[in-house]
Amino acid sequence: MSTIGSFEGFQPVSLKSEGDDQSSEMDHLSTEEVDSGKDCTPTKISRQLSVTESTLYPNPYHKSYVSRKYFVARPGAIETAVEDLKDHITQTSGETVQGFWLLTEIDHWNNEKERIVLVTDKTLLICKYDFIMLSCVQLQRIPLHAVCRICLGKFTFPGMSLDKRQGEGLRIYWGNVDEQSLLSRWNPWSTEVPYATFAEHPIKYSSEKFLEICKLSAFTSKLVPAIQDAHKNSTHSGRKKELMVLTAPILIETYTGLMSFIGNRNKLGYSLARGSVGF
């Protein structure tokens, strides 16, 4: 039993559920019948249990108010973003979008970033989209014929790392990691990293719609044949490259990770409602 603390002029009140009242009343009645001696046969009390039916898909324990904090979950937000990007791609390159996904990009410093990823017949596009202002902030284009390797597996970190993450991801390479400069490797804002790493967006289980567009497996099944076709149709000089698809651990080379620890815990890489400011 929990009670409300009393102030001056107020009496403490016990909080009880309806089920508690019914059970105590039934127990009292059954005791009186036995004591009176009128009926010595045991009394059977049938109680109907309340059944709550969950309508959330597919995880019945997902809290809907948590997903509403993400601006991408607001009605029409993802649809508006995709239409804007499709129009921009059609006007600038004339390419047709074959599919789009809402994923989390994990940079080389383990920072999470909300991204819309689109695949055309020639290009992989990684978009940083502001779901608050409904505008594209940054658009990175990677030619599909330049992608040489795809790696799927669990995230791993150096043995001395203090900032680790669980789960699996996907890494797409379009350059040689060994040729990456030391400056770009240790610069958290570097744009010269020759790969991109993705994980599933945390809003994946909020609805059936997001379950489909946040799946890494669905993204991979569309991306791999698109890259293979781009390699076959490539007119670039040199020997034809073949795409390597590997299942191996994905190394994120961070050690202290203080910046990613603060940013990821507070979801700073997402368009998120962060509460009111003021009174």
Q: Residues 9-24: pLDDT tens digits?
A: 444 444 444 444 444 4
185 or 252: which leads in pLDDT: 252
Q: Using CA atoms, how far apart are residues 199 and 172, in angstroms rounded to an integer?
A: 12
199 φ/ψ angles, rounded to the nearest 5 degrees: -135, 170
Q: Supply the pLDDT for residue 181.
A: 75
Confidence tier at 92 by pLDDT (50, 70, 90): very high
What is the greatest pairwise CA distance in the chain?
Answer: 103
pLDDT exceeds cutoff 50 at 27: no
In the chain the domains, ranked by start, together with CATH numbers, are 64-265 (2.30.29.30)
pLDDT exceeds cutoff 50 at 105: yes
Nearest Cα to Cα of residue 168 among 123, 209, 236, 216: 216
Confidence tier at 190 by pLDDT (50, 70, 90): confident
pLDDT exceeds cutoff 70 at 106: yes
E strand or H helix at 208, and its extent? Answer: helix 208-213
Confidence tier at 237 by pLDDT (50, 70, 90): low
136 or 45: which leads in pLDDT: 136
Altogether, the residues listed in the chain come to a count of 279
Q: How large is the average pLDDT for residues 204-218? A: 94
pLDDT exceeds cutoff 70 at 33: no
Q: How large is the average pLDDT for residues 43-66? A: 47
